[in-house]
Every structure is written in structure tokens, then in C-alpha cells.
Amino acid sequence: MKVDILTLFPEMFEGVFNHSILKRATELGAFSYNLVNFREYTESKHNKVDDYPYGGGAGLVLSPQPIFDALEDVTKEKDKKPRVILMCPQGEPYTQQKAEELAKEEHLVFICGHYEGYDERIRQHLVTDEISIGDYVLTGGELGAMVVVDSVVRLLPSVLGNEDSAPNDSFSSGLLEHPHYTRPAEFRGMKVPDVLLSGNHAKIEEWRRQQSLRRTAERRKDLLEQYPLTDQDKAWLNQWRDDHNLS
């Protein structure tokens, strides 16, 4: 996967992209990135990339010219148009399902804004996706782009090393993930559940399923409303609610 990032602060990405899973993905050849400072494309003699909004109002708005020219430059030798993602608090709320969708693409371009917003022509004529990582406002789109790139790249083949890791993540299955334990079996009087030490893989999978359902019911009831529960799932949940006097 090739990723181009249009940003006024390319240096922000170096630390993130040169460590951990993203570094591994680069070394494997699964992921390559290009950081583009779109200020370098401005035709302004003062090197400006923003201006005051027509009609008045607070703040400055990113001008279309530098971003249009930067995007045309990074895509000029491409036969297939990339997905162009605008990081924006007005965008589609980001989900694991969106990450899985984007992980199937060969080329992604991220536009990271600053200031009050974007000239609307950028949104209307360049962008294929608008993404928000939450209902809050950051100083720029860089941190959001890092989040999206990390969540997408870890899904690429061979990047995690264990092909079962990503499908079992929280949200990938539609439920929150079950609890995890590792050695020692007892730590400061706190013991690992006996079933995980039993060696009975069928019982372990059953326990994990039950825990995943319970954790989702406790923390994200909204996910259960959309999830296709089996009769066995419903029975486990009803038993758990009865045991805890829950409605």
C-alpha cells in the first residue's frame, strides 16, 4: 500500500512511522509513505496557504490552489485514482469496518488541514472520503491521519505476523474482545481463570465467547443491538443477567 500525506507539518509523522508495526510494515514492503508539505506548492509570493473567509468570520481557511496542485502532483503518474481522505470533524465517524475497507486499497491520500477549515471546493472536487476520529476538534488533521494509517496498515497481510490477530480484535467481529491473561498463573493473589489452564480448547473458546458477549453488554450495549446473536449467545447473556440481577 502506498500512502501520501498532504500536511503542513510532515515532521510530525516521522516518529510514528519509524517505530513498531508501521516500521515493520515498511521493512516488509507492505507499506510505503510519502510526506508532502503542500506549502511548497503555493503560488503566493508570501508562501501563504490560507486566507480570510469570504463573508467574514473568525479564523483562516485553507486555500484550494496549493492542495489541488499537490494532489495532482502525487497522482499524476497513477493509472488508478486513489482514495482521497479528508480528515475533518464533520466527516464520517471512523470505525473498524472502515479500516478494513481502506485496507483493501492500493493507494490512499490523506489531506490534513489546519486553521478554521477548508475551502469548500477541496471537499467537493478532490475528496472521496471524509473521516472524523471523534466528536471533538484537534488543532490539525495530522493526529487523526496517524490513527487511521496505523489502524489500516496493521490489517495488511503479514504485518502483524499472526494472521489471527486482526480478525479477533475488538470491533472486527462486532463484539468487544474477551479478557487476556499471561504468566504467572497467580500474581499477588490474583489467579488466571481455571478454564484457561485446562488445555480444553473447546471450553476455552466457549469461555472467550461468553466473556466477549458479557463485556460488550457491560460496555457497549449499542453493539449488541446490531449483532446477530445466536440462540446460545442469548442464553448465555440471559443467564449472566439473571446471575447479576440485571434487566
Residue 72 annotated as catalytic: no
Marked catalytic residue, from 169, 177, 206, 233 = 169
Q: Is 39 a catalytic residue?
A: no
H or E stretch including 191?
Answer: strand 190-191
Rg of the chain over all Cα atoms, to the nearest angstrom: 23
- Residue 231 among known ligand-binding residues: no
C-alpha–C-alpha distance, residues 149 and 154, integer Å: 8
Q: Do the annotations mark residue 60 as ligand-binding?
A: no
Residue 53 is among the residues annotated as catalytic for this protein: no
**Catalytic one of 89, 100, 123, 220:** 89
User: Does 10 participate in catalysis according to the annotation?
Assistant: no
Contact predicate 32/136, CB 8 Å: no
133 marked among binding-site residues: yes
Q: Annotated binding residue at 137? A: yes
Q: Residue 136, annotated ligand binder? A: yes
* Cβ burial, residue 223 (10 Å; 0-12/13-18/19+): middle
Beta-carbon contacts of 123 under 8 Å, excluding residues fewer than 6 positions away, are 86, 88, 130
Active-site residue, from 73, 100, 105, 116:
116
The binding site comprises 113, 133-138
Active site residues: 89, 116, 154, 169
Tell me the binding residues for S-adenosyl-L-methionine: 113, 133-138
